[in-house]
Structure 1
Amino acid sequence: MDKKRCGWCVGDTLYEAYHDAEWGVPVKDDETLFEFLILETFQAGLSWITVLRKRENFRKAFDHFDYKKIADYDQNKVDDLLQNPGIIRNKLKVNATISNAKAFMEVQKEFGSFSAYIWGFVNNEPIKNEWENYKDAPATTELSDAISKDLKKRGFKFVGSTVIYAHMQATGMVNDHEINCFRYHEV
């Protein structure tokens, strides 16, 4: 018998694999949190599947999301990235990735880790919602508004409330699996 999944991923094997293995699983390591933050910023205005299909290209192009390396990117590297057909070539988002890497390291200095900072907003415990249909989940919440505002104050770019709520869902800060999805109780 097939497993019941959230409706948003059904019918695409890449989406289903991502849903089954990663989406909504609590992420506490800074490297993965940074990767998702950058992927979510590139997703702004686009569909997540577009980014997911280019994820491996992003990993190669951005030094496997090594924020220390990314913080030191120069104009030559930016120019190379903007010529890379394997990624989303948006100058503002590429430049935001560099400034976000720098801001990310500042947060680490202040809080010991980005994980401690971001998970502090939910007292280190995922928020467990109870949606019967994924379409009922909000695009933003008061909490994603607050996190977005704080990140912007710290110099982050492309971190609007919708991007941040998607990041919270992806990294398990909020469990928005449908209640009848097999992953709902697993994560």
Structure 2
Amino acid sequence: MTPPDKDTGAVIGEDGLARPEWASRDPLLREYYDTEWGLPVVDEQGMFERLSLEAFQSGLSWATILRKRPAFRAAFRDFDPEVVADFDDRDMARLLSDASIVRNRRKINATIANARATLGLRDSGGLAEFIWSFQPETTPEPRTMGEVPSQSPESVALAKTLRNRGFTFVGPTTMFALMEATGIIDTHLVGSHRRGSSGVWSR
């Protein structure tokens, strides 16, 4: 593995492939980057899981959330929004005592509230379709890590609209990260082997 390129910030792995530094050191993050990050998510349950995990990530590293992902899935019943929407005080107590997840009351409350808000979007085409409706006409084309934005007019608008629909922990930066992770935008470096892998945007 080479040190990060001084111009782009990319790292060439032992396999000869270029990745951003965040996806180059940790095998778990590298696998996530190579096989999942940036690929389209178009189903309600998958989008609700991503929305929930992005909210839990706020203030923490993504590696922390990714390592706890199996535990999150077990605790939140595979992020089935119908099931989570019915969580009650007993579920809250169960979650707050579960050391395998992030025991943050506000984030847990937000996940339950967001599940209920997700059900409310079904009359409008559903959560995934709703979020995809904020897809921009163009995607960033960063050549360096410094050129990767942290939010966009679309993520600002998405955050505002979701809050108006009853969602919480959906700030513009968090929503930009969600759009990156689910293929709505492509912020892979132009030189990355994953650039254009979503099939949504050309290389």
TM-score, normalised on structure 1? 0.94
Q: In the alignment, does 2:168 pair up with 1:157?
A: yes
> CA–CA distance in 1 between the matches of 2:184 and 2:129?
12
Cα shift readout 1:106-139 (whole Å, capped 9, x = no counterpart)? 0122x1221221111127x7x4321112332111
> CA–CA distance in 1 between the matches of 2:61 and 2:52?
14
Q: In the alignment, which residue of structure 2 is the partner of 1:41? A: 55
Aligned residues of 1:134 and 1:177 also touching (Cα < 8 A): no
Structure 2: where are the runs of 5+ without partners? 1-14, 199-203
Q: In the alignment, which residue of structure 1 is the partner of 2:118? A: 104
2:82 to 60, 64, 68: 68
- Flag the structure with larger Rg: 2
Q: In the alignment, which residue of structure 2 is the partner of 1:166? A: 177
Structure 1: where are the runs of 5+ without partners? none
Q: In the alignment, which residue of structure 2 is the partner of 1:121? A: 134
Percent identical residues: 41
Q: In the alignment, does 2:9 pair up with 1:13?
A: no
> CA–CA distance in 2 between the matches of 1:36 and 1:115?
11
Q: What is the total number of aligned residue pairs between the two structures?
A: 184
Residue aligned with 2:183, SS: coil
Shift of 1:7: 2.4
> CA–CA distance in 2 between the matches of 1:176 and 1:138?
8
Shift of 1:103: 0.3
Question: What amino acid is the match of 2:128?
Answer: S
> CA–CA distance in 2 between the matches of 1:38 and 1:115?
13
Work out which structure has the larger RCO, using CA pairs closer than 8 Å and 6 or more positions apart in sequence.
1
TM-score, normalised on structure 2? 0.87
**Runs of 4+ residues deviating >4 angstroms:** none
Aligned residues of 1:59 and 1:65 also touching (Cα < 8 A): yes
> CA–CA distance in 1 between the matches of 2:146 and 2:29?
16
> CA–CA distance in 1 between the matches of 2:129 and 2:68?
29
Q: In the alignment, does 2:193 pair up with 1:182?
A: yes
